[in-house]
Structure 1
Amino acid sequence: MSTLACRCSYRLLNVLTKRICLKTTRITNSPLSFHRIADIRSFATTAKMESKTPYIGTSKRGLSKEIEIPVPWGILAGKTFGDWTKPAVLCLHGWLDNCNSFDKLIPLLPQDKFYVCVDLPGHGLSSHISLGMFYTLFFYVACVERIVNHFKWKKFSFLSHSLGGNISGMYSGTYPDKVDKLIIIDVIGVFPLDGKLAAENLRSSIESYLKHEDKLSTAAPRYTYEKAKERLLGANKSLDDHSADILMERGTTRHEDGLYTYRRDFRHNYRNPVFTTPEVAMHLLRNITASTQHIMASKGRVQTSVAARSENVARLFDCFTSVKKREYVVVEGDHHLHMVNAEEVAKQISPFLNEDVPIFTTSVETSK
């Protein structure tokens, strides 16, 4: 099956109605139903236990190097690929995934770059935030700036998927002078909500977080590897079997009894207490100056909205008015296309990364 690449102006997106008929599965938008996660106070101990899965991680195979970036609530864990003196590309994964999300894609991309893949807070091997804190997109943007300061980057590029794409879009609009290239997979780069939902969202978030603190004494459920994987695949229809193994390697802890728990923070299932309104989102997008490439899944939510001539989606895409270059590419697949169809995604990203000569920066080498 071949890739359908549609390179078009964002101004024409609202007329892109051609139906793409492909054999693929449908993504669900429901959150992972994993019940309660491990006591946050014991996470630092359980996360150190090895997760033995059929997939062997890239660092264990010598393809990447593990890193830990100190933050006030613990660490941001991750791994790097390539020479740290080369131009930097920060890779941000999606909601409830981890930085293994890019394991199949990065080896297929230009090797004259320094790829830094980070587990977002409360994902993978990164620390959960402290009690009393909230996960928000604004918090994630601040985390990116911590990473930038850690490596002392003056200029860098983004490779981002889903939640990571919305974080990278917001950061690029907040710090436009620091981002050279912005690659966003299967989202727009912002996630606005109607301001009328503010009170409801805030109340729901506060109540959920407080109830969570009352349940910390409840032990996290344990599963066999097969059952844990089955639950992951059931909640993410866009993953295939091998992709699930890849995420499980970094996203689970294996205990002495041979059973597994999930490492991600259950609080990610709650609503964000604050969000951007459409007006704020459009302002951020207009402020982006980086060369921007959108890689959209043919069966993804955004492309479906584009094909349906959604005015709200078209209006957001039309806000990329200050970027050096714009590219919109539709690739065969569903939401996790960068894992399931990595070869075709790499064919689109590689030329974009190689265009022009990015500003040379030196990173600060770190190791675990």
Structure 2
Amino acid sequence: MTEVLEQTAYRVKAGEIFGQQRRPVGVEPVKRVLLLHGWQDNSNSYVNLIPLLPKNWWIVAIDWPGHGHSSPRGPGAAYHITDWLVDLREVVNVLQWQKFTLIGHSMGAGVALMYGALFPEEVEAVVALDVIKQLSEPAGTTHKVLRNAIMTLADHNQKTVAPQKPEIMSKNQVEQWWHGQSKAFMNEQSAAKILERGMRQNSGTTADEHLINRDSRLTFPPLFRMHLDQHRNVLKELKCDLLIIKAAGAQNYESPEVEKEFKDMYQKNCSHFAYIVVDGLHHVHLDRPETVAPVIVDFLEHRPIKNSH
């Protein structure tokens, strides 16, 4: 079951960040919750989960810049992992929230963990879906990765000095492309949900001409990625309540040694910490929200809950 959510827009320095929200009517919310989607997704990542969360929570799900309905970065710009933190900070400032909870999936979970460590006076709790931390730059790869990233972006910028014709496809072609890209991460119904906000009609025509609602620069190699020691230095300052939900059917993004190190650090430093494994793929919160929602609600409203491994 999905709900009709209120469409929102937040004016920030780089343009507009769009989103969807459900706000309690006539009562003060008992909890304010920001939902942060993963790389190349959009806020529809949470449309199946939101109806299962308490009605007295004020819930806002945003589209990151370059995703969904939000503005892309400006001409010549790149997407840096640290920029998402600035985007989140600006949305929080517009909302004027003093205390809130962050629920993030994949890339969004990595951002939530970092933000909670950097701004502990604001973040009451973090829920990280299928991520232990942001991906770190592998040791010894900086020269190769940076060279490739610079060449890719510079080549793109050179090609876009003159306006480029966007890639236009039929709706069926877009759907087939997207399902092929996403089948390892979510089921077909979930992919369709993401695509509802991730595809748009070509403006000025009623023909079957559609475009992907996503900045192609998101697929470029990163100009900057933090090293493991930098993640250690920042995330040791995460002190709020933390719940990590791991999807059993998803790939592991960290080595067993790194995963154990950060789980041990969270256990030591966070006010409450729980690590729960549930059956499902990487987008388990979208595929099987009835499995994920009770765990989130139980932790955020009652904690602690029993760990699983």
Rounded to whole Å, the distance in 1 between the matches of 2:2 and 2:66 is 19
Q: Which residue of 1 aligns with 2:40?
A: 96
Q: Which amino acid aligns with 2:19?
A: G
**TM-score computed with the length of structure 2 as normaliser:** 0.90
Alignment of 1:306-345 (within 5 A): 310-320=256-266, 321-345=268-292
3-state SS of paired residue (2:141): helix
3-state SS of paired residue (2:269): coil
Q: Which residue of 1 aligns with 2:306?
A: none
Does the CA contact (< 8 Å) of 2:285 and 2:292 recur in 1? yes
Does the CA contact (< 8 Å) of 2:10 and 2:16 recur in 1? yes
CA, structure 1 residues 176+241, in 2 after alignment: closer, same or farther (shift >3 Å)? same
Q: Which residue of 1 aligns with 2:150?
A: 206
Alignment of 1:6-25 (within 5 A): none
Residue from 180, 186, 201 that aligns with 1:254:
201
Rounded to whole Å, the distance in 2 between the matches of 1:160 and 1:183 is 6
Residue from 208, 219, 233 that aligns with 2:179:
233
Q: Which amino acid aligns with 2:229?
A: E
Q: CA deviation digits over 1:256-307, x for unaligned, max 9?
A: 222211010000101221111111111222111111000110011238x67x
Rounded to whole Å, the distance in 2 between the matches of 1:209 and 1:323 is 39
Unaligned runs of 5+ in 2: 304-309
Q: Does 1:294 align with 2:244?
A: yes
Does the CA contact (< 8 Å) of 2:2 and 2:48 recur in 1? no
Following superposition, the deviation at residue 195 of structure 1 comes to 4.6
Q: Does 1:182 align with 2:126?
A: yes
Unaligned runs of 5+ in 1: 1-55, 357-368
Percent of matched pairs sharing the same residue: 26
Q: Which amino acid aligns with 1:289?
A: K
Alignment of 1:277-292 (within 5 A): 277-292=227-242
Q: Which residue of 2 aligns with 1:132?
A: 76
Rounded to whole Å, the distance in 2 between the matches of 1:226 and 1:318 is 47
Rounded to whole Å, the distance in 2 between the matches of 1:73 and 1:197 is 31
Q: CA deviation digits over 1:59-110, x for unaligned, max 9?
A: xxxx321111112221001111122841210000011000010000010111
Q: CA deviation digits over 1:311-354, x for unaligned, max 9?
A: 12212222213211011111111101111111111121111121
Does the CA contact (< 8 Å) of 2:12 and 2:91 recur in 1? no
RCO higher in 1 or 2 (8 Å CA, sep ≥ 6)? 1
Q: Which amino acid aligns with 2:13?
A: P
After the TM superposition, which parts of structure 1 deviate over 4 Å for at least 4 consecutive aligned residues? none
Residue from 195, 199, 224 that aligns with 1:274:
224
Q: Does 1:71 align with 2:21?
A: no
Does the CA contact (< 8 Å) of 1:188 and 1:302 recur in 2? no
Q: CA RMSD in A?
A: 1.9
3-state SS of paired residue (2:285): helix
Q: Which residue of 1 aligns with 2:137?
A: 193
Rounded to whole Å, the distance in 1 between the matches of 2:87 and 2:240 is 20
